Amino acid sequence: MRAWIIKNGEKNGPFEIADVVRKLQSGEWTGDAYGWVEGMKEWQPLSSIPEFAQAASSEMEPVIVEPNANTAETAASYSVASEFSRSERTSLLIRRFFARWFDLLLWSSIYMCATHLSGANLKAMMMNFWFNYLMMIVWILVEAAMVHVWGFTPGKWLLGLRVTRADGASLPVGLSLLRAIRVYLMGMGMSHPILMPLCHGFSWWFVRKHGKALWDGSSDILVSVRTISPWRWLAFSFAAFMVMNVSGMIIEPVSRELLREFYPELVQWLESSQQPTTPQK
């Protein structure tokens, strides 16, 4: 359910219900501001709308917040994604896309490196269905733990993204795990080569239209973003380049061997096309 607010004579929104409650409790908005919630017939003061009545009645009371560095930083330097315009949502989508793939590339590199260093047959492992799905299952647990503790993963941290509750607190363990599972099912299509691009395309459309991803559907989940410097983008690009190089050093020999095994004609054609032609006398 979403809401729209009249602010300075202009209609603003849509906002999640939790966003409006938070702004009322912080005193940023007052109960005499007019609002409209999906399903209502007409605009009413926020204090008259059941979803906001309690928050509006206590808006002047001091809100006691336990000191928390993460909460303070979020309030001071992050913006809420659901309040963005269409163009800003596109920018956010690009950040989230690259952050997601950076995390997956980083994790798969660590996973492959650990497998290689353990002395296991990496070729046989890569051909094993359960090996690849175990990698994703472990990543779901790792991602959920990082979002619960810090509010971000390495990719999100580099690109200035943070996932929290509506009040700025960390996600509970259960909600963080549920979100990570939803990302894998709805956003990544369970790593299926056909489902994945379909899920990517649908998620892009959904966020552009609604301002939230499917896996952030709960009104208690907020994705906030802050402006990052060109140096941060440069650091992200360098980190992605290094991860891809390390991953390539480990996987490329195995991938070449698999290519020779399953597509010998293609390998032969590629090798013959790369050989220098002998000049005719």
**pLDDT at site 274:** 59
Domain assignment of residue 44, yes or no = yes
Greatest Cα-to-Cα distance within the chain, rounded to the nearest angstrom:
95
* Regions of the chain where pLDDT drops below 70: 8-11, 58-88, 166-167, 217-220, 266-267, 270-271, 273-281
Domain assignment of residue 211, yes or no = yes
**pLDDT at site 252:** 78
Domain that holds residue 20: 2-64
In angstroms, the Cα distances linking 68 to 45, 65, 169, 171, 183 are 33, 8, 8, 14, 28
57 and 179 together in one domain: no
pTM: 0.65
**pLDDT at site 158:** 94
Domain assignment of residue 167, yes or no = yes
24 and 105 together in one domain: no
Q: Are strands 44-45 and 10-16 parallel, antiparallel or unpaired?
A: unpaired
- Structural domain ending residue among the three candidates 64, 82, 113: 64
Domain assignment of residue 271, yes or no = no
In angstroms, the Cα distances linking 248 to 113, 118, 212 are 11, 18, 34
pLDDT tens, position by position, 221-258: 878 888 888 999 999 999 999 998 888 888 877 777 77
Query: Would the CA dihedral through 121, 123, 124, 126 be positive or negative?
Result: positive
111 and 187 together in one domain: yes
23 and 89 together in one domain: no
Domain assignment of residue 273, yes or no = no
48 and 173 together in one domain: no
159 and 118 together in one domain: yes
154 and 118 together in one domain: yes
94 and 29 together in one domain: no
54 and 99 together in one domain: no
**pLDDT at site 247:** 81
CA dist 280 and 117 (Å) reads 49
Overall number of domains in the chain = 2
Domain assignment of residue 279, yes or no = no
108 and 237 together in one domain: yes
167 and 28 together in one domain: no
pLDDT tens, position by position, 82-100: 555 666 677 778 899 999 9
Residue 244: name the closest of 109, 64, 124 by CA. Answer: 109
What is the chain's mean pLDDT, rounded? 79
